[in-house]
Structure formats: structure tokens, C-alpha cells
Structure 1
Amino acid sequence: MFTGIDEVDWASLRHAYGSAEDVPGWLRALASADTAERATALDGMYGAVHHQGKVYDSTLACVPFLFALAAREEVPDRGGIVELLVSIGAQSTDREARARQAVCAGAEDFVPLAGDPDPAVRAAAAGALVRFLDEPARALALLRHRGRAEHDERVQVALTEALGLFVRRHPAHAGAAADLLGERSAPPYAPGLRLAALGQLALGAPGRLPADLVPTAVRLLRERSARRGHDPRPPGADTLVGRLRRLRPSDEEGSRLLRTLHTALGDRVAERTALLVGQLTSPDPVDRCNGVWMSAGLFRGWRGDHTGPVGLLGVQLHTDHDRLREAAASVLAELFALAVPAADDLHELVSARPDQWTHRWERCPPTLGPALKALARAGDPRAVPVLAQLLAGPAAPADLGYEIVHLGRAAAPLAPALRHRLGLIAPGSSSAARLAAPLLSAVGAVGDEDAVPEVLRLLSGAPDVPGAREAVAGHAIGTLESLGATARALPVLRTLLRTRHAAAAAGALWSADGDFRAVLPVLLREMREGDAPRRRRAAGQLARMGPDARAALPELRRAVRSGPARDRATAACALWHVGRDPGPVLPVLRAAWSEDPRTRVPIARCLTAMGPDAAPLRDLPASELAAVRRHRAPEGAFPAVGAIPEDEALLRLCRALPAGP
């Protein structure tokens, strides 16, 4: 197995963390009789030699030895070794192309592995036949033969997924493979195998799907679950690979089968919603848990009426299964206002389980628990008494203030406690900005004018050293403006005109005394000399000033002609507010809308302000309202948590605009 391993100059090769001199030890340990030693070695291979799917020169050097290990039946856990080989060979760019060539050179070795006595090896080798054999007809013949000879259902599922991969990779030979998938999607095959076949047909040959795909899939899921029994997996070693395996769904195969269907259905939101409802109403809590996590992908990526699935997430909060309940609460916390259909369930859980009001990760300060966070983000005032108790305690979660923002004026009873906590912050401390930012946001949201002295104390009380005052300045200025109290801060604001918060300070000064002549030079300097965020902030302040900022028109006209779409769009909106001439503005806004989805919310606000001048661009909101995919969820990407409220805000703005040109 290891012939020639000592002849490789491993010390001169590299992996993710430097010299590869530790790699031969890992390779030898993969053949160890000790389970923990093998797991640690595989951990090293994935963590360094194939770190995050990357390929290094040491990865290429490992390929022959991995093939040799995979071929020896006396080596335990060879399924993991074959999976590693397949993952290395699946890469296809730059240096990764060399890795694919190296694995393809050993493609014949996968043929006997597809008939190996170990079912884990057979399952891992199934897809390798399609990926690496350069004769499609032969690969298909091998899959057909193995399908007839195989008795292990999990290996049959792997063979079915390999047939689906064949359909997508070899369209000229896809007909026969699709026929095999069609056979496997019907009786007498087992329900799990039929689900696998339906998912692969949906990905590669949707014309062959039954008309009642979703009801059929839900029925098969329940039949499969009734047969599945308990999770047979051992706990796993305390290694990276072991921990990742423990974090996988307890029914990983079932999760993969249903996720394949969701992926294939894509923008068919009504069918995906019906599929989710079937998952979330399954008698099996494992199916429901898988459905909960899949609902997050649908909610984040696609628009539609999600009331039904969200209500079913609320139902899961009443289960005795901790993992299912925690999953449902976590997903609801991502939905913000969309979680309202589950608000009663959230309130019931929050009332019944004070122990879940906060969550503490190891060696980290406490954070708000997901159920309470979801209730607050939904804007439900029933969260206020609980938040008041936390604020009164000795260790209120650091993120609590940001969640209070979503309650707005309904959180006014919390104002005294927020002021008290602001008063505990030392202005010059290294933690001042981290502690103050969420509290200042909350004070502004509840409109507590009595907090102005505390805000000014933080803003003006920092020692006169570089960066000390700036650390809280941006948040403090915004809070003072929202409270209408900038006039009381004029001396401090003037000291910030030479900092990175110059644009915000200038805008606040203008809000306080209306003297545009005093702040225009500052904003023009920021437009010319600041980095991109500072230029955008300056343009935003010029837009607020409107025609008073006419002296900035040449600089704004220059700004709309170059730079990233986000910068051009911000400058174009300011150009209209200041000059009220739509001519040079409309082409910039149209281009930015298409180039960078992040610009759409501010552009929609600008179109609202433009009124009739925006008529030539009214096709943009009309097209947006007709789109099923959320604007920050491009194909192949998984949008961030904040994508949902931002997208819902965009939809509200677009609905308020007249449709069509």
C-alpha cells in the first residue's frame, strides 16, 4: 500500500497549513486497526490536504496511496477513503483539474470497488463510475448490472443517484438511464428508492415525472419513515469528521432525498410549499425536523404565501423532541414579520420555558434565545415583559437592543432600563462601542428623549485620543437625530467633522441649524476623498439637503459616471433630490438596478420620491413584483439571514408605485 511513500519529498509539498511532512503519517493511520486513529487521520486529510474542497500539491501526491488503500479489503472504513478520492477528483478548475486527471487515471480501480463486499465502498464508488470512466456506455452498463445485483437499499439509492448524474452529464446517452430511473420510481421498488428516482428524474428528465409528483413524494416519504426505525449511527469519534457527522440530520439519506426534490422544483413555489406541508405534517418527528430546515431555504430564497408552512413551524414548538423544537424556533427567528402566523405558539413557548430566554455558547456571552428573538422580530408586544426581566438582570444578552428595534414604540416601557444600561458604559472603555451600539439603536426605536443626556455623555465623554470618540459616534449621532436632539450636541458634532463620521456629523449639524454653507465643504470633501462607504454617506446627506446643496451638483454628476453600481445609484438619487432633473439620473438607476440587487431598495425609495419623473422606470417595480425569487437570492447562492426583511421592504415599495410605463 505504501510502496514509494518515503521517496516523496513531503516536506517540500504544501497543504492548507504549511508543510505536508505530516501527510504520510495520516496516510498510514488510515489503515490502522484503531478506530480513533483512523478518524483522526481522515480528519487531517479533510482539514488540511483537502481543506474546504481545495487541492494542493500534497493532495495530488496522496492520490496513488489513497487508491492503494481503497483496494485492500483488510483496511477498515474504506468507504470514507473512496468518498475522499471522489471529492478530490470532482474538482475542475486550475490546479484542481490536475487532481481530476490524477483520479481519472485510476478510474479502472473504481470498477471492482463498485462490487466490493463493503456496502459503504460500493455506495461511494457508484458515482465514481459516472464521473471518471470515459466511456459513457460502459458506465451505464455497469450501473445497470450493479442495480440488478445489489441487495442493500442504501447502495441502491447511491446507484439511483449515479443514474441521475449520468442523465445530466451525458445527455446523448440519457434516454436509457432515464428509463431505468422511471422503472425505479414505481412499484415494486422500496419507497426510499422510488423517492430517489423521482428526485433524479426531476433534476434531469422532468418530462418523465408523474402528474401527481408532490402527493406521491409525500406518500413515499411516510411509507419510508414507517419502515426506517431508529437511527443506527454510532456516536462517532471526537474529531472534525466525527463532529460533522453528528451534526448531520439523523436521517441523512431522507434529508438528501427531499432536498433533491426541492432543488429540482426550484421556482415552483406552490409545489414546494405543498411538499413542505407534507413534510411538516408527517407523523415522524425526524421527517418534520428535516422539513423545518428545508423551509428555511424556501423562505429565504423565494417569495410567496408562506402562511401555511410558517403556522406549521409554530406547531413544532409544542413537541417533546428538543432537536425539532429548537430547529423550528431557529428558523422562525430568521423570518421577522413573516413569523406572525406562529406568534401565539412562540409566546406560549416563551411563557412556558424561561430557561430558553437566553442561549449561552461555550466561552461566549449569552445571546437572546431563538424563540424570544423570533417573537420580538415579529413585532409582537408580548415580548416586552420578558425583555424587561432580562434587562433588569445582571447579564442581559448583548444583542438584546437590536431585537428591541423591531418592536418600535411598543417597547417604550423598556426605556428606563435602557437608559440605566447606557449609564453603566464607560465612554473610554475598549468595549464602549460594542455595548452601546445595540442600546443606542433601541433608544432611538422607542423614542426615549429622556435618554439624550446619556447619549451625549457617551458621545462627548470619551478621552481625547484617536478613535475613542469615533467608536460610538456613528450610533450616537443617529440616535440623537432620531430623537430630534442634535441641537444639544452641536459642539461635539463639530469636533467630528474631521473623522470617518464626518458625513453623519455634517448631516446632524444641518438638521440642527439648517446652515448648509457650514457643512457643504465637509460633504464635498468626503465625496472627493473618502472611501466608498463615506462617499455613499455623504451623497445620502446631500440628498436630504435637497436644493440647498446645489453647489454639489458638479461633484454628483461626476460620481454618477463611474464606480460600482452601488456608488453610482446613491449619487444618482442624490443628484435628483438636489437638481430635480431626471435626465441624467434615470439611465444610471436602470443600470444599477440590474447590476447590483443591493441598490433596489434605495432606488425604489427614490422612485417613490420622484413621482411622475419616475414614469420611464416603472417597468422595474412591475418586473420585481412578477419575480418569484427574492432579489438578494441569485441562482446558486444561499442568501443571508437579513435577506427576508429587506426583500419584503422592497416588495412594499414596489407595490406602492404605479405599475407600467
Structure 2
Amino acid sequence: MFRGIDEVDWASLEHAYGSAADVPELLRGLASPLPHERETALDGMYGAVHHQGDVYDSTLASIPFLFALAGHAGLPDRGGIVELLASIGGSGDGDAFGETTGGGEDGEHGPGRDGGGPGTVDSGNDNRVMARAAVRSGAAVFVDLVTDGDPEVRRAAPSALVRFHGEPPRALALLSERLRDEQEDGVRLALVEALGLFARLHGGSGAPAVDCLVSLCGPPHDPGLRLAALGQLASCALDRLPADLVPTVVALLHTRSQRIRPSREPVRTSSDTLIGSLRRIRPADEEGAQLLRTLHKALGARTADRIALLEGQLSCRTTADRCNAVWMSAGLFREWRGAYEEPVALIGEQLGSDEVRLRCAAVSVLEFLFTLAAPAADRLATLVESRTDSRGRGSATLHRPLKALARCGDARAVPALAEVLRGPSVPNETGYTIGFLGAAAAPLAPLLRERLAEVPLGSVDTYDRAAPLLSGLATLRHSAAVPDVLRLLHGTPRELRLRDALVKALAGTLAAFGPGAREAVPTLRGLLTGGNAVAAADALRSVEGDVEAVLPVLLGALGPERDAGSRRAAAEALGRTGPAAAPALPALRRLTGSGDVWERTAAACALWDIAGDPEPVLPVFREAWRNPYTRGTVTACLVRMDDAGAPVHDLIRTELTSPRRHRARSGGHGSHDVLDDERLLRDCRTVLRSG
């Protein structure tokens, strides 16, 4: 298996974390007789040699040894090695439904998005092309592995065979043959998935695979196989699906649930690795989850069908089916817009289940829905009032049902949040969560102030403890807390970790207090010459209204020697200043030509708020609309512009007809994507009503 491995100069090669000198040890670990060593080695291969799908020179050098391991009969866990080979060979090709990976429009993303992990190297297209060629050249191995004695290998091999074998007709014939002879249910499902992949990859020449899938959708095949065939058919030939798809799927799901057998796979102790963690959180019915995930993903924008399907799943007797439905709903809610009151209410019903796994799933989904979780608010409130968290333990912390209830703006969260604020320690997210309750959270302001007064001045966690409390106080505009804010401003050591971020947060809180923070004016004036001058100037304008004092500071921050973030913050502060900031107009007009989309957009918004002239603003907005992360800022300004924004209202109308959430993307999501999209839709409707 490892002939020639020591002849490779691994130390001269690289992976995600630098020198690849450790790769031989990882490769040998894949053949270890100990399960935890094999798992750790596979985790290391994904974590370093194939980090986030990248292909390095060490990845290429590993391919021959991975093939030798995959073809070594009797070696345990070879299924994972086959999957690794398929992933390496298919890097950059997108997922099984033909999606491709890549950056956002114009390569511009929202703040905080990170393109890779530690030591990420751009391995370039050449490495990917060579990896694909190398895996293709060894694809004959996959022909043998389709009939391997290990079911896990047979489960992994079919999709690799379809992707890389150079003779598609032979691959299709082998899949059809194996479907007739294969006895293991899991392997049969993998063969069906490979048929769908074949049809997607080969277009018109994939018609025989489509016909095969159609034949598998009806009796006498078992319900699981029929569900798999329907899911694959939805991904490659929607027109061949039965007209009564949803009732058919729900009936099959019920039948399958009644026949399902306990897993025969041995229970194994997983190592402390990412792969081990994923094994531990697998759904109770992983096969059922995969079947429904495939179908939901293939149906895509057909939200009415998907909602009906979810409602059918959520009516199933077994908790595993209902749990799968809850997790399926997460993908639907995050990616597509729709009328979700009924499925959300049904998810709320799951909070009354005795099954911990089901309750945890329901809370996890409701937590990221924010206002869309309102139909489940009564169930959330019951859970919160019982002081039983989603894991079944009594708790006075900010447990997830409480967070979900507060995020949907329900005032019943206030007493429980008060209890949290009186507790021995305040979870960091508490202050941020309070902001979603609006005026209903006013009784919490004195408690927030008390906890802010306890924050130490020079601790390593001063910022982490203070920032959420400041956010809550700012939202509630509780100016009685000014002395406590000033205590932190005056007493925080200059060498404190994140001191600049803390000062910025403190200044922002004073700005939110407005005239009620006049006591802070001398302190803010003293900050006008420091690194937080823009934040101090913005706060001083809000508190005292002295535009003449702050205008030179904000104008200076627009200079070319300043970074784009500072210029953007200054432009936003000038926009809040209004017509009195007219001396900034020439500089702001220059910034509308910036290479940074955020800076361009902020400058354009400020131009409107200061001069009320749409001519230089609307072209910037039309261009910025291409970036989904700036649409919220553009739309908020269009709300202020009223009829003056009419020339770009076509963008708003198009947005409102789009079924897809504006930040939906393949391969990831943000925790506030649903909230941001709902706010965008609200502002879009306001724009058209006012215009």
C-alpha cells in the first residue's frame, strides 16, 4: 500500500498548515488496526491535505496511496477513503445538483466573511485539473469497488464511478446490474443516487438513467427506494414526477416508518475529531434524513410543495420523521421566501415532545427565524415559563427557547430575561437579544445598568462583558446609565485588549442617549483627536448638536490617507448630520467612485441625506444592488428618498418577485440571514407604498 512513500520529499510539499512532512503518518494512520487512529487520520486528511476542498501539491502526491488503500480488500473504513478520493477529484466542480462554488458578485461580501481557514493557500486551477485527471486515471478501481465485500465501500463507490469513469455507458450498465443484485438497502439507495447524478452529468444521453428512476418510483419497490428515486427524479427530470407527488411521498414516508428496522451497524466510540463529532450528532434516522433532504433540495423554489411535504412529515407518528422534518425546514426557511405560518406553528408543537432530540431541533430552527417564529411563540413561552431548557434541565441562563422568544419580539420573555440579569453571570448574548423586544424591554434597563457597573476596568474580558450590555442600554436609550458609561471611558487602561472597540461601543451608546448624555460632552470633546475621533464626533453631534465642532473631524476622516472603514464611518456620520454637513459634499462625491462597494454606498446615502439630490446617488445604488450585502443599506435610503428614488424602483419590484432570499448562497449561511431578508422585504414594500 505504501510502496515508494518514503521516496517522496514530503517536507518540500505543502498543505493548509505549511510543511507536508506529517502526511505519511496520516496516510499510514488510515490503515491502522485501531478505529480511533483511522478516524483521526481521515480527519487530518480533510483538515490539512484537503482543507475546505483545496488541492495542494501534497494532495496530488497522496492520490496514488489513497487508491492503494481503497483497493486493499479487508481494510476497514475504506468507504471514507473512497469518498475522500471523490472529493479530491471533484474539487471546485460544485455539488451533486450542478451548483458551482465561488465568491459573491464582484468578489465583494458582507462584513466579517472569511474566505478560508488558517494557512489557506490558493492551490490554483492547475492542481484541481491535475487532481481530476489523476482520479480519472485510477477510476478502474471503482468498477471493482462497486462489488466489494464491504457494504460501506459499495455505498461510496457508485457516485465515484459515475463522476470519473471514462466510459459512461459501461458505468450505467454496471449501476443497473448492481440494482438487480444488491441486497443491502443503504447500498441500493447509493445506486439510485448515482443514477440521478448520471442523468444530471450527461444531459440528453442520460435518458436511460431517467427511465430507470421512473421505473423505481412505483411498486413493487420498497418505500425507501421509491422515495430515493423520487428525490433523484426531482433533481434531473421534474416533468417526470407524478402529479400527486406530495401525497405520494407522505404515504411512502408513513409506510417506511412502520417498516423501518433498527440499524445493524455496531455502535462505535468516536474520537475527538470533526468526523467523530458529526457521527455523534447524526439524526436518529440518518437514511430517512438523506432521502428527504435530497427531495427538498431538488424541489428548490417549489415552496408550496415543500411546505405541504413538511406538514405531512410533521404529522408522522415517529419522532425521527418529525425531527427530520424540522431539520428539512431549516434549509427551506433560510433559502426561500414563503408563507410559513403553518409549518412554523407545527414546529412549535414539537416543543411539547418528550423526545429531547426533537425539542432541540425545533428550538434550533425557531432561534434563527426571529419574527417568523411568532406562530410558535405560545409554545416557546410555555417552555420558558416552565424554566426547562431544550435539553430538559432547569435553567436560569439565556437558554435557547428564551432567546427564540425574545428574538420574535414577544414581551413574555421579559420576566425570564430579568431573572437572567439578576443571576450570578450574564451570558454575552443577553444584551443583544434584548434589543429585539423594543419598548417592552424598558423594565430591564436598570438591571442592565447594574450589571454594567460591575464590569471590571482592566480585565481580559472587559469588552466581551460590556459590549452586549451597552447594546441593550443603547436600544432602550437609558441615559441614566451615563455615569457607568463614563466610568469605563475614563478608567479603561490604554493597553486593554480591544480597547478601541470598547471606546467605539461606549461612544455609540452615548450617541443613542442623545441630549440625555450632556454630562459626557467634555469627555467626548477630549476624544476628538484620538483613534476613535469619528465615533466621538458622531456622539457629540447627537448629544450636543454642535456641528461646527465635529465637522472638521469628520471631513478629515474622509481623506485619502484614511482607510476605507474610517471613511465609511465618517460618511455615515455626516449623513446623520444632514444639510449642515454641506461642506463635505465634494469629498463625498469623490468617494462615490471608490473601489469599495461599502464606501461608495455610504457616500451616496450621505449625499442624499445632506443635499437631497438624487442625480449622483441613484447610479451608485443601481450598481451597488448587484451586491446582496448592500441592498439593505440602499433600500433604507430609498425609504427616506420617497418619490425621488423612483428611477430605481424597478430593482425593488424585481426583488419582491424573487422567490429566493437575497443572501442565500450555496455552502453556507449567516445567523441573521432570515432576519435581514425579512427587513429588506419590509423596506421594499415601504418604498413602493410611499413612491
Aligned to 2:36: 36
Q: Answer whether contact 1:267 1:629 (CA < 8 A) is retained.
A: yes
Deviation at 1:637, TM superposition (A): 5.0
Distance 2:447 2:689 in 1: 46
Corresponding residue to 2:435 among 401, 405, 408: 405
Matched, 1:165 2:201: no
Q: Does 1:523 align with 2:571?
A: no
Amino acid at match of 1:2: F
Q: Which amino acid aligns with 1:347?
A: A
Match of 2:687, as an amino acid?
L
Q: Give the aligned partner of residue 97 of structure 2.
A: none
Task: Please name the residue that 2:642 is paired with.
Answer: 611
2-structure distance, mates of 1:587, 1:5: 59
Which is bigger in relative contact order (C-alpha 8 A, separation at least 6)? 2
Instruction: State how far apart, in whole Å, the 1-side matches of 2:318 and 2:157 are.
Output: 31
**Counterpart in the other structure of 1:117:** 149
Q: Which residue of 2 aligns with 1:211?
A: 243
C-alpha spacing 1:126/1:358, structure 2 compared with 1 (3 Å): closer
Is 2:357 the partner of 1:323?
A: yes
**Structure 2 stretches of 5 or more lacking a match?**
93-124
Instruction: Tell me the residue number matched to 2:89.
Output: 89
Q: Tell me if structure 1 keeps the 8 A contact 2:564–2:596.
A: no
**Cα deviations across residues 550-576 of structure 1 (Å, max 9, x unaligned)?**
111111111112322222121111111
- Cα distance in 2 for residues equivalent to 1:605 and 1:49: 45
Partner in structure 2 of residue 222 of structure 1: 254
2:538 counterpart residue number: 507
Cα offsets for 1:16-48 (capped at 9, x unmatched): 344444433443443344333433333333333
Identity over the aligned pairs, expressed in percent?
Answer: 55
Kindly state the Cα deviation for residue 619 of structure 1 after the two structures are TM-superposed.
1.9
Contact 2:578–2:609 under 8 Å retained in 1: yes
Q: Which residue of 1 aligns with 2:449?
A: 419
The aligned counterpart of 1:474 is: 504
Bigger shift: residues 276-285 or 452-461: 452-461
Q: Which of residues 538, 541, 545 is equivalent to 2:573?
A: 541
Residue-by-residue CA offset, 1:299-346 (whole Å, 9 max, x unaligned): 122211111111111111111111111111111111111111111101
Deviation sequence 1:343-388 (CA, Å, 0-9, x none): 110111112234669999xxxxx97211111011111121111111
CA change 1:358–1:588 in 2 (3 A) is: farther
Q: Is the 8 A contact 2:389 2:400 kept in 1?
A: no
Aligned to 2:382: 348
**Structure 1 residue 622: Cα displacement:** 1.8
TM-score normalized by structure 2? 0.90
Q: Residues 637 and 565 (structure 1 numbering): CA distance in 2 closer, same or farther, change over 3 Å?
A: farther
Q: Does 1:572 align with 2:619?
A: no
Range with bigger deviation, 440-449 or 515-524: 440-449
| Matched-pair contact (CA < 8 Å) for 2:359–2:390 | no
Q: Which amino acid aligns with 1:104?
A: R
CA gap of 1:479–1:134, structure 2 versus 1, over 3 A, is: same
> What amino acid is aligned across from residue 88 of structure 1 in structure 2?
I
TM-superposed CA distance for 1:524, in Å, is: 1.0
State the 1:83 CA deviation: 2.2
Asked if the contact 2:460–2:497 (Cα under 8 Å) also holds between the matched residues in 1, the reply is: no
Q: How does 1:90-109 map to 2 (within 5 A)?
A: 90-92=90-92, 93-109=125-141
Instruction: Give the one of 523, 526, 531 matched to 1:495.
Output: 526
C-alpha distance in 2 between matches for 1:221 and 1:382: 37
1:282 aligns with 2:312: no
- Which secondary structure state, in structure 2, belongs to the residue aligned with residue 288 of structure 1? helix
Q: Give the Å deviation of 1:438.
A: 0.9
Q: Distance in 1 between matches of 2:29 and 2:639?
A: 66
| Corresponding residue number in structure 2 for 1:585 | 617
CA shift for structure 1 position 478: 2.4
**Equivalences, count:** 655
Which position in structure 2 is the counterpart of 1:597? 628
Matches of 1:565 and 1:581, distance apart in 2: 20
Report the CA distance between 1:230 and its aligned residue: 2.8
Partner of 1:94: helix, strand, or coil? helix
Residues 1:355 and 1:145: Cα distance change in structure 2 (over 3 Å): closer
Instruction: Give 3-state SS (helix, strand or coil) of 1:657's partner.
Output: helix
Q: What amino acid maps onto 1:482 in structure 2?
A: A
Aligned to 1:638, the other structure's residue is in SS state coil
Counterparts of 1:214 and 1:357, CA distance in 2: 33
Q: Any unmatched runs of 5+ in structure 1?
A: 361-365
Instruction: Deviation per CA, 1:531-552: give whole Å up to 9, x if none.
Output: 2222122111211222211111
CA contact (8 A) 1:556 1:575 kept: yes
Give the distance between the partners of 1:114 and 1:552, measured in 2 at CA. Answer: 70
Displacement of 1:468 in angstroms is 7.9
Decide whether aligned partners of structure 1 residues 405 and 29 sit closer, same or farther in structure 2, where only a CA change above 3 A counts: closer
Say if 2:675 is the partner of 1:645. yes
Q: Secondary structure of 1:58's partner?
A: helix
Structure 1 pair 632/30, CA: closer, same or farther in 2 (3 Å)?
closer
The SS at the match of 1:317 is: helix
What are the superposed Cα offsets for residues 498-519 of structure 1, whole Å, 9 maximum, x if unpaired?
Answer: 3343222212222333332221
Mapped pair 1:147 → 2:199: no
1:302 equivalent in alignment to 2:327: no
Aligned-partner residue type, residue 483 of structure 1: F
1:448 aligns with 2:489: no
1:231, 1:250 within 8 Å by CA — same for their partners in 2? Answer: no
CA contact (8 A) 1:401 1:439 kept: yes
SS in 1 for 2:153: helix
> Which shows bigger deviation, 644-653 or 478-487?
478-487
In structure 2, C-alpha distance between the alignment counterparts of 1:430 and 1:28, rounded to whole Å: 43
Compute the displacement of 1:176 (Å): 0.8
Cα 1:427–1:32 change in 2 (3 A) is closer
- In the alignment, is the contact (CA less than 8 A) between 1:147 and 1:159 conserved in 2? yes
Describe the shift of the 1:245–1:560 C-alpha distance in structure 2 as closer, same or farther (beyond 3 A). same
Q: Show the counterpart of 1:363.
A: none
Q: CA deviation at 1:495?
A: 1.8
Shift of 1:12: 3.5
Q: Normalising by structure 1, what TM-score?
A: 0.93
* Cα distance in 2 between the residues matched to 1:127 and 1:172: 19
Equivalences for residues 366-381 of structure 1 within 5 A? 368-381=398-411
Contact 1:185–1:195 under 8 Å retained in 2: yes
Question: 1:13 corresponds to which residue?
Answer: 13
Give secondary structure in 1 for the equivalent of 2:434.
helix
Paired position in structure 2 for 1:632: 663
User: What amino acid does structure 1 have at the position aligned with 2:565?
Assistant: P
Letter in 1 for 2:379: D
Q: Give the C-alpha shift of residue 452 in structure 1.
A: 2.1
SS in 2 for 1:256: helix
Could you tell me which amino acid in structure 2 is paired with residue 351 of structure 1?
E
> Retained in 2: the 8 A contact 1:357–1:368?
no
Q: Would you say the 8 A contact 1:300–1:641 is kept in 2? A: no
